[in-house]
Chain A
Amino acid sequence: MRRVFLAALLTACGHAAVAPTAPRLDGPIADRSTPDADFRGKPPEGAALGVPSANIEERRLKNGIRVLFVERHDAPILSVNIVSDRGGDQADAGIPEFWRRATMVASEKYKYWEVNELMNGLGAAWSAHVTPDSTEVRVTVLSKLLEPTMDLVSDLIEHPSFPPSRVTLARQRMRAGLESSYATAEGQLLLAIHRALYPAGHRYHDGLVPPESIDKVTPEILEAYQHFAFTPEHMTLAVAGDTTLAVLLPILESAFGTHTGPKVGPQAPVAPPPEPEPNPRFIVMDQPSGSQAHVAAVWLGAPTTIDDRFPYLLALEALENETFVRLRVKLGITYGAQLFGEVGRSRRPIGVASAVELDRAVDAAKALVEITDRLATAPLSAEDLDDGKTALIGAATYFDSISSTASSLAGFAVYGRPLDYPKLRAAAVRACEAEAVRNAAERWLNPSRMRIIIVGDAARIVPGLQKLSLGKVLRSPPFKL
């Protein structure tokens, strides 16, 4: 039986209904005054920062797969991250990203539509991720539905199938995505960064997904990559949420415990790119349309293994903060400025980027040079150093949610970190001194090895840059597929 709402709606909607209108405002409102008080005179100072911790259980399934688990019941859900410490750096460029888009759609047992329907029926949210260091499938599900979800997910991981029709579709979507990306300033900027930092011939010279790589990928290559990544000795099941270890382990053992996977040896690591030469310092990618320019200061970043890792992180923190303050707060020429890039096992692009008013792009470039010069030559003030430490420690949200807890556990596994890493990290950050931060900036964010890349109308940008006399300016046509 149907509810009466339809009859009511039909009455209301048989013709165009009257739209609600903005509220009537009855004249101006008088000022209100909040009484002041002494306690408002100074911002309150908080107590010492707490360091996140969690009770992490560690087990192994019979086939050796590592299990990390945090029990918590703040919401009736579970997050399971199936992660491998083998990633994009151990495959030909383009394959990992292709895998990310094509995986988890079918298995030897289930066809494409069936998998899609089963996932919908379970209400599970899942996603695949690849970094140069890791390969990962993240699943979040209502805790009551963990068992059938794990049965399905393990089947998709252990017995993958990449139907040719789905691979073809993924290829079309990737090509369309690349075409769309190349049409945007952000896409051009990303490509320009890779071209500037990786020499011709390097696997990442044309970005993480070189256009020609898309046509070479086959279902067999994708299947091989999945087997390569998800071998038991490289896998960890990082789990957090609303269950107990006693309930969880049998479910995981049943789902993943028989997985052996073909033995695939490691691949040759990516060759490190050489340090960039000092010039050209400015690269302007011509994009005549648009009212904004995208500006980035980029370097070849440091790997995770460096001994001055925490001073380096503090230098990056200072770079982002100072750029935001200069470009948005002081100059008012942008909506925002952000750090981009990741710190991983290999050296990768890292820097700060901002979309600015087109006619202020030169001002932004000049400000970035000044900021980086200062970072590399003058130690941070005691206040700025303390602020940076607080920001770095306070912003580390390892266990704030169920999903972030699972992701943190996965990160510990990928980088071989101890399970009390948040505590160790906080102590190491606290121990950093200003001179060490300056040294790290000089070593890793050196102005002479920086590239400033601008995507925008070159005719309105290049003359101003040349007038600055801060380095050689290279004008480049936009990239096309």
Chain B
Amino acid sequence: MNEDVPVDDPWAVLRASTQARIGLGRAGSSLPTRRVLEFAAAHAAARDAVHEPLDVESFGAAVAEVGIGTPVHVRSRAESRAEYLRRPDLGREPADLAGLAPDGSDVAVVLADGLSPRALAEHGAGMLRALVDALGEQYRIAPPVIATQARVALGDAVGEALGVTTLVVVIGERPGLSVADSLGIYLTHAPRPGRSDADRNCISNIHPPGGQSYANAARITAALVAGSRELGVSGVRLKDTAGPELLA
């Protein structure tokens, strides 16, 4: 079927159908040196993405340039990365909500480091700009919140403090071996502490150019925001009502 593939590597044809690490060759029973180093490099990138902290100052400057206000920094109750990884419960609770008060906004955007601060550093400001482009004309958006050592549910307390109807959490996803800088977006209607995952809608795999684009993720988010405000609910019921085109 593919005449151009060199006869000495028939695995090349098979690799078109899967990203799995097939046909790696052997050194005795073990992997050849090159393959061991490739794997080590992928794992190192994933680990660094988990552990290197967000540079809040430079990220905050990039976020401020989007033009929806000066970002507020909220820390979770997890005081170190090691504690954050061990205690997801602490990552769901803000240490302090000073500086957050209702200002009549409809929508809050929380930019959370999650399991990949690198993803937020690389894509967070661009994602926020696309969200503002998609939502800004219809809704009043609160000044952005940057959350560190944060899990998705930390946004619930932030959303409640800001008095918004719609919460959008943009968060670094758990790094994989092939992609370490992917963002996810979680939408929660009427946020308040105690909301569960079943109350949220999720858009994942945002990491242009390989993954979903900012504009496409923002378009889906805008449709979910409109749907949730009309239905008065987010999560499983919104997904079932909204239909597959929203989740494509």
- A and B associate in one complex: no
Where the two chains meet, the residues of B that have a C-beta atom closer than 8 Å to any C-beta of A are none
